[in-house]
Amino acid sequence: MKRATREAKEVSLIESAGAIRSGPMGAMSGEVVITKVEMVGEDGASRWDFVAGEAVSVRIYYEAKRDLPRPVFSVAIHTPDGYYINAHNTYADEFGIALVRGKGVVELYYPSLPLGRGEYLLSVGVFKEPDEPLWRNAVDCHEKAYGFFVYSDLFIHGVAVIPAKWEHRSLEE
């Protein structure tokens, strides 16, 4: 019964994956609007379920209402209970871009998604310019808005699958 309950819960999570959860915070200033977010697996397909260790891209489609010389795009991953796992942004990763008025897409590539089995939430945002450490100048932000699921046959404790190797040697002489 426990296995059937877990499988039913996973089916429910998968069916709702990619749906906007709490809803985007919305275009704050209207200078840039995030129009679409998708996750893409190593097979090139847009989807919301992945295998641990799979290569994954996050695509943020946007429309810029005016030119922005130093915008910052961000992607963050959280557990459903709000635990902050990881984040990347174009400023910290030294990926400088300038937006010109019009539509475009920014893509973040993870060569390997090192997460354990379970449900996760994705946040994306765009900021007018670098504003460390508080990041108060968001022009559009979708906080914990997109759900995705990671499959794994590995039984791990925690959320990360961190590569490691055991070694043993005798100390007897």
From residue 64, how far is each of 29, 96, 100, 137 by CA, in Å? 11, 16, 7, 15
Choose between 104 and 157: higher pLDDT: 104
Is 2-151 in CATH node 2.70.50.60? Answer: yes
pLDDT at 53 over 50: yes
31-63 per-residue burial string, b: 16 or more CB within 10 A, e: under 16: bbbbeebbbbbeeeeebbbbebbbebebbbebb
Map out the domains of the chain as residue ranges.
2-151
Q: Is 11 helix (H, G, I), strand (E, B) or coil?
A: helix
Q: Give me the mean pLDDT over the 8-27 stretch.
A: 48
pLDDT-derived band of residue 1, with 50, 70 and 90 as boundaries? very low
Nearest to 28 by CA among 143, 138, 146, 145: 138
Q: What pLDDT, on the 0 to 100 scale, is given for residue 158?
A: 80
Residue 147: count other Cβ atoms within 10 Å of its Cβ: 20
pLDDT at 43 over 70: yes
Q: What is the pTM of this model?
A: 0.81
Q: What pLDDT, on the 0 to 100 scale, is given for residue 74?
A: 96
